[in-house]
Structure 1
Amino acid sequence: MRYQGKITTWKDDQGFGFITPNGGGKDVFIHIKSFTQNKKRPIGNELVTYEVLTGVNGRLSAQQVRYVGEINNRPVTIGKSVYPIYFTIIFLALMCLAVYLNTLPLFILAIYAITSLVTFILYWTDKRAAKKNLQRTPEKTLQLLSLLGGWPGGLFAQRVFRHKSVKQSFQFTYWTTVLMNIAILFVIASPAARRLLSKLLGV
């Protein structure tokens, strides 16, 4: 049996909230995974329909949740699409090939590897902090690391931990830093820039 209610409480960082049923009654727990399709995340006050599952502790949980009046088969957002993953894998493969062909310095690839690892770890700790209401990692720190070359690690962390992957404002800034980083890499890796760098370093 399906019910209808309104999401009256929503904690986006933790991915859960509560539905107040139409006509009153006990609030129903709702988790982001309870939605039937990969759609926009709620922000509160959305009308939804749902089924109810009663847990062993007596808590009511919403299942098969849908927004009222939603249209099925909406386009998949960037935060859910597989194409950014393919793009990142191809990008890293091209970097490795460039290093192998001696057209890109190894230390640049090392910078990407190190910053990506640091970024991945910070996403993980920030996700844990969000769940436990602890001090968070500032978003500007994550974005700065992406700009410095940690964006591949950031992307994989977003998908593995399901963190920051659908927040539109964060995603816009994130992909802006990705484009800026790639542009800077092309400038640095150009022959003219490498000759200048060699002169400055006396190599």
Structure 2
Amino acid sequence: MRLKGKLIKWDNDKAFGFIAPNGGGEHVFIHKNAFSNRNRTPNINDIITFSITKDKQGRYCADLATYSGEKLKIRQAKNINQFSIYLSIIFLSGLVFALLFNIISSTVVFYYFGCSMFTYIIYAVDKAKAQRGEWRTSESALHTLALIGGWPGAAVAQQTLRHKSQKKAFRSVFWLTVIINCGVLSWLLSVNGPTL
């Protein structure tokens, strides 16, 4: 849901301010990065249309903000990172080959495929929510899904849906979850052998 309000405070040096929503309620924090048009300097009394999201500390703030009369343009990555997609395909294919040679059980293979499909769907739903300006799935939830085995689906979703594919901090944590998940799987295979 898109909201509208008036910019009542702005600090040019720190590049943030507060919006008073038209419907009343608490003032909404907004950073300059939340504006789709970053070439324009915000001014007091500007009418702003915006969505609500959460920052890294879990606090509500404005996002996807536009000035009155402007249309929302969601920035998208121009290029798809083929590495993420290929790595996911190679990993899942490796699981299938490991199953054929009785290195792992079918339960592990079905688990990873199921978890990856579920994670892809969650990314698609979150992308749709972002476009509609609705409440979003938390980044910690997305990272948890990747950590427990859904990272192949997450990696494909990030690139094909162009969602969460540009935020460096998110990507760094995501790749850490991939390393941890693969490390745990390798350790379990070394300890339990072909019975896993």
TM-score range, shorter chain: 0.5 to 0.7
- TM-score normalized by the length of structure 1: 0.58
Q: How far, CA to CA, are the matches of 2:120 and 2:71 in structure 1?
A: 35
Q: Is the counterpart of residue 127 in structure 1 residue 127 in structure 2?
A: yes
SS of alignment partner, residue 118 of structure 2: helix
Structure 1 pair 187/17, CA: closer, same or farther in 2 (3 Å)? same
1:110 Cα offset (Å): 0.9
1:46-61 to 2 correspondences below 5 Å: none
Q: How far, CA to CA, are the matches of 1:183 and 1:172 in structure 2?
A: 17
| Aligned-pair Cα RMSD in Å | 3.3
1:86-136 Cα deviation digits (max 9, x unpaired): 222211111110001111111111111111111111111111111111111
Q: Give the aligned length.
A: 138
1:84 Cα offset (Å): 2.4
Structure 1 pair 90/18, CA: closer, same or farther in 2 (3 Å)? same
Q: Is the counterpart of residue 193 in structure 1 residue 192 in structure 2?
A: yes
Structure 1 pair 127/157, CA: closer, same or farther in 2 (3 Å)? same
Conserved? CA contact 1:80–1:166, under 8 Å: no
1:147-176 Cα deviation digits (max 9, x unpaired): 111000001111121100010000000000
Conserved? CA contact 2:123–2:154, under 8 Å: yes
Partner of 2:143: 143
1:17 Cα offset (Å): 3.4
Conserved? CA contact 1:9–1:19, under 8 Å: no
- TM-score normalized by the length of structure 2: 0.60
Q: How far, CA to CA, are the matches of 1:140 and 1:160 in structure 2?
A: 21
1:82 Cα offset (Å): 1.8
Q: How far, CA to CA, are the matches of 2:130 and 2:92 in structure 1?
A: 30
1:61 Cα offset (Å): 10
Could you list the structure 1 runs, at least 4 aligned residues long, displaced by more than 4 angstroms after superposition.
58-62
Which structure 2 residue ranges, 5 or more long, are not aligned? 1-30, 42-68, 74-78
SS of alignment partner, residue 20 of structure 1: coil
Which structure 1 residue ranges, 5 or more long, are not aligned? 1-7, 22-57, 63-78, 199-203
Q: How far, CA to CA, are the matches of 1:118 and 1:86 in structure 2?
A: 19
1:142 Cα offset (Å): 0.6
- Percent identity, please: 31
1:80 Cα offset (Å): 4.6
